[in-house]
Structure 1
Amino acid sequence: MDELIRRFIDHLAVAGRSPHTLAAYQADIELLEKTMQAKPAREASPTDLRKALAKLHAQGLSGRSLARRLSSWRQFYHWLQLNGGREDNPAAGLRAPKREKLLPKALPVDGAAALLDRIEGDDGLDARDRAIFELVYSCGLRLSETVALNLDDVDFSDQLLRIRGKGGKERLAPIGAEAMVRLRAWLDERSAAEEEPALFLGRHGRRLGGRQIEKRLRDWAIKTGASQHVHPHMLRHSFASHLLQSSGDLRAVQELLGHANLSSTQIYTALDFQHLAKVYDGAHPRARKRGKTDDDEPS
């Protein structure tokens, strides 16, 4: 078997595979040989391979890892077929266990509020950071959507944000009161050439990049004593989780997130925007009723 593996790896090397890929193929086939134990891997049947997958799965290998190993085995048996070592490919019709779906991580409501409320400072970039993260949490923005925002995407009169999502699809989202306050504070600090359309800028007056936003949030989370690593998409997950917990309106949250569907079987159904705004105002923990001012609050 060792000789067969060596010849297979040599074949892949001649085909131009990288050393990293060659090492991975060799390790995957040697793992199969070790898992089979009683029977040589070259003689494995489809049932033998299913048992090997089940055994590795029971040992804790993820669906992603098993899929990669099965792909290596499939290539190995295909090579054996081409070289007269087998008449069939026992891995041809096999599938690895489904990859587990990791639940998105979200901050608790008080944790999100504590993080955002502690982003303070005298630097104009601090005002920018607070505006960015309030807006991400307020509107459920993806990182790419945040980076792409321009000045004219913010409708201050109606408190709406125009978002360019995946596939070039645009959507409107209501902006919460706190995010509006922080956006105005940032615009008081924003300094850029007249032709620069970006809403959020770096220190040198150019559009802020995604990596910079990730780093700033990570640094703020550490500085404010967050108990876990925080990234921008976590704020988006928090938006969805908190709004859904409060409203129970799955389709409204789906619309606000810009999702075509929430699962492979659930198709998005459009909702009237006024209904979405009503759900948002009544449910989001940092929203405020439209037209309501501090003077309207009970004393």
Structure 2
Amino acid sequence: MVPAWRRPAPALAVAGGLAAGGAQWIAEAYGRWGGVGARLHASSATEGGMGLHWAGGDAWRSLNGPLLCRPCMVPLTHPEHTLWWLALPVLALTACLVALRTGRAAETVLPVVCAAALSVPYLVLVGYSAPRFFLPVYALLALPVATLAAGTVRAVRPAPGRVVVAGVLAGLLVAHLTVQYEVLQERAAGARATADRYRAVADGLRRLGLRPPCLVTGSHSQPIGYYAGCASADVSGNNRNITEAALLRRAATEPTAALADRRSPPPGYAQAWKAHRLRGTGYTAYLPRHAAGG
């Protein structure tokens, strides 16, 4: 039996954790952004406008990739590999109901509530998705689902039936892990190919004379700038961090390249810059005509 004085402890711990985390977030909002409203506004701008967006379909379609589904216009691939995702909330709810009936609610309901809270921003507040967003949710829900599975096995009578049920559950787990391993292999190969492409673009920029300190802007400027050893900047989009006038001033004093996909025109400020096709990458680099290689 739990002593009476210890029964409120879990609720107090949760409340204390929320207060501590909230206090840190609010203090940081005033220290770095100028207030709670300013921080929320900056966050919303970065996310492309936070609001009521049902992103459950995006999360479902992106389960097997891409790593970032933004905008999420991809079709659902291998729907049979996503059935576990649709079953997960049902299993979690069932685990909560069983726990409430058996009087062991805290250890099951609390992880489910935390998982639901973590899911809310990615399901209803942003208009895109990525598989990594829900990794903490899956980790939390693994606890009550595992408890439910173990309880199901123990509840089966007689013993031979228990062995059958345990075998079925083990088989389902192995099948799930096998599918996830295949998805991991495919996504890892895609990520390596993308990184190799970015490194090839960076090598091309170095051949054009870009050396630190330098600046890369345009399509995928952040990862490519990183591989090239350059700073990155964008005048539009979710990663906007500079004005066009400020970018042009920097371009006049340091090596700068504007990148565009072969299917896209150059940025407006780079219309008069010289185009350099980066062979084998699908990119074109635009350099100011006064720059090296221009």
Do these two structures clear the TM 0.5 threshold for a shared fold by scoring above it? no
- With a CA cutoff of 8 Å and minimum separation of 6, indicate the structure with the bigger relative contact order: 1
Band the TM-score falls in, shorter-chain normalisation: under 0.3
Please state which structure has a larger fraction of its residues in helix: 2
Please report the TM-score for the alignment, with normalisation by the length of structure 1: 0.22
TM-score by length of 2: 0.22
